[in-house]
Amino acid sequence: MAVSRSDLTVKIGDWQLANPIMTASGTFGYGAEFSDFIDLNRLGAIVVKGISLKPRIGNPPPRIVETACGMLNAIGLENPGIDKFLSDKMPQLKKFTCGIVVNILGDSLAEYCALAERLNDTDIAAIEVNISCPNVKKGGVAFGTDAKMVYDVTRSVRERSNKPIIMKLSPNVTDITAMASAAEEGGASAISLINTMLGMAIDIRTRRPKLANKVGGLSGPAIKPIALRMVWQVAQRVKVPVIGIGGISTVEDVVEFLLAGATAVQIGTANLINPQAAEKLVDGLEKYLLENKIATVKELVKGLII
């Protein structure tokens, strides 16, 4: 059958995206900064840099180190806080037609809830919840490494938000599917994975860690096989849409994640190498579908043959 034009649209709950290409939080600023390099309206969605209730100054430098096939970062979630974001950043984002997703973070359940409520009366498409943050009331244990805490955060945010809720999972756990199930039971609209993996780099001349924070989050092509495996596992366990993240830089990468079960993908470290990366992947995916006579991108989702 001849295919003259392929359908790239996908759905996250009731939210329809023009295509499955999103940007990953922390790698695309607040979106508008990239408007000189690409047509932001061609993207499925922009996920902005993580936002907290109060401003955060982040970690001391050096905060980024290149590694083999990837990058370590220990930015420390630096951001201006929700008030400044809404007053200074949101007006710029309203100019674009692509979906805007706000990534939120907190050190307590109350902070996540307050952020969710503040975003109810905005034009954003969805909230992505970063649960790799430490719970200060639980001795600093990351919310995303305990299934009960994953459920509690998801349920609490769900009860206070009128937006689709995407729970972003940490890979630094024993069983990723247990965390995904807890998020789904808590009311998540979708699950995104994976966040960065903990890593380290050492300067052999000074015998000191290359990052001031000593450890940081590893991203880039180095983590792609792990991310792909986790997306595949989670997509088999949950019924809500899965958004794949981790080392995606080529059309082949995008298709692999879709076949593994992802409904959409987020482009991260590739944006730092080429600011046009995400838009080029939209073009590349459309070309791939046409060349292979695939009428809709949804045909690829969970298309892995085993």
List residues with catalytic annotation.
133
What is the residue whose two structure tokens read 């792990």?
226
Alpha carbons 243 and 245: distance in angstroms, whole number: 7
What is the residue whose two structure tokens read 């965390």?
179
* Nearest CA among 55, 125, 111 for reference residue 84: 55
Alpha carbons 278 and 162: distance in angstroms, whole number: 28
Count of residues making up the chain: 306
Which residues 6+ apart lie within 8 Å of 188 measured at CB?
A: 154, 158, 165, 166, 167, 240
Q: Is the peptide bond before 12 cis (omega within 30 degrees of 0)?
A: no
Alpha carbons 219 and 202: distance in angstroms, whole number: 17
SS3 275: coil
Task: Give the side-chain half-sphere CA count within 13 A for 252.
Answer: 3
SS3 229: helix
Token duo for residue 15: 């939210």
265 touches 64 (CB < 8 A):
no
Alpha carbons 105 and 83: distance in angstroms, whole number: 14
